[in-house]
Amino acid sequence: MSSFYRPPASRVLRPTRRRGFRIPVFPVVMLSVLGALVFGAYLVLRLHPRFAVNRVVLEGIPESRRAEAEELTDGWIGKPLLFADIARPVAALSGRPWVASASARRVVPDTVVVRIVARPPVALARKGGEIWTVDRSGAWLEPYAGRGVGRDDDFVVIDPGETPDGVARGAAFLETLRTEDPELLARVSELGVKPDGFRLVDRVARASLLFAPDADEPGRAAPIWRAFLALRPELERHALTTAEVDLRFADRIVLKAPADSERGKT
């Protein structure tokens, strides 16, 4: 039996083909198209005149304050609607003493609507040589242009005298009456503020009433005033009516005769 030598079989190694990094073409194209559309829309909204502010609508603004509001909002005209800075002018309006609140909204394609809630005037007071309206906090609103047609325009006149915070104290007194007893407030025609208290004119009773310095606090003025009105028929029956009544005391009512400002009847 013969033998033979078989050389080991050699494996021929094939060169492997290296796969390169493949970029997905379709998603890239879609993202590029989407980006181009977004950028185009941005340019249209920012540059196209169709989307520029053409109109500013002012709601709830008193006619006397319209010029003041327009001065702050006219800067929006011609600016791109969605990119105009409306926050800063609205904040400036909100800071005005006659404004209770201010807001604004964009209305596509070309309008900004500004909504103002104005502080209503509640009284009149002298400021220099003019008569001004004041709000519930005593803030000055605007010069009084004369009686309007509304039934709420029958304002109380506050005379602050020499008291530095007289207008604010007078407005606080009226606000307390408005909260506690609106019927009493309706009787007031004038209110004087003094360091030692308040003097008001009850136009129904045709009398001047004196109140203590704390009469602007709740529960101080209305009860003693009501007590005087309850006693008034009896006072008239005894011919004790007077043009001035001192209500500064918690336990008594002092009637002052017109010819005797020093002594009174309790």
In order of their start, the domains of the chain are 49-118 (3.10.20), 123-265 (3.40.50.10960)
What is the DSSP track for 119-170?
Answer: PPP-EEEEETTEEEEE-TT--EEEE-----SSGGG-PEEEE-TT-TTHHHHH
- Residue 150: the pLDDT is 45
234 pLDDT higher than 60: yes
Mean pLDDT score, 88-115 = 91
- pTM flag (> 0.95): no
The mean-pLDDT minimum among 29-33, 118-122, 202-206, 243-247 falls in 29-33
**Residue 45, C-beta contacts closer than 8 angstroms, at least 6 positions apart:** 51, 80, 81, 82, 83
CA distance 74 to 166: 37
- Across the chain, mean pLDDT equals 82
pLDDT-based confidence at residue 17 (cuts at 50, 70, 90): low
Each as own residue / partner, the long-range contacts of residues 201-205 (CB below 8 Å, 24 or more positions apart, any chain) are: 205/229, 205/232
And the tokens for 183?
Answer: 């019927």
**What digits encode the pLDDT tens for the residues 190-200?**
999 998 899 99
120 pLDDT higher than 90: no
Determine the residue type at 146.
G
- Residue 65: the pLDDT is 83
CA distance 81 to 56: 11
Number of residues that make up the chain: 266
**What digits encode the pLDDT tens for the residues 46-74?**
656 777 889 999 999 888 788 889 999 98
- Residue 252: the pLDDT is 86
Mean pLDDT score, 221-231 = 93
Ramachandran category for residue 78: left, alpha or beta (phi over 0 → left; psi -120 to 50 → alpha): left
- Residue 126: the pLDDT is 86
**What digits encode the pLDDT tens for the residues 145-178?**
775 434 456 799 999 988 889 999 999 999 999 9
| Look-up of token digits 């045709």 | 206
- Residue 116: the pLDDT is 92
pLDDT-based confidence at residue 2 (cuts at 50, 70, 90): low
What backbone torsions phi and psi does residue 245 show, to the nearest 5 degrees?
-130, 130
User: Ranked by mean pLDDT, which of 64-78, 173-187, 223-237 comes out on top?
Assistant: 173-187
Mean pLDDT score, 81-102 = 89
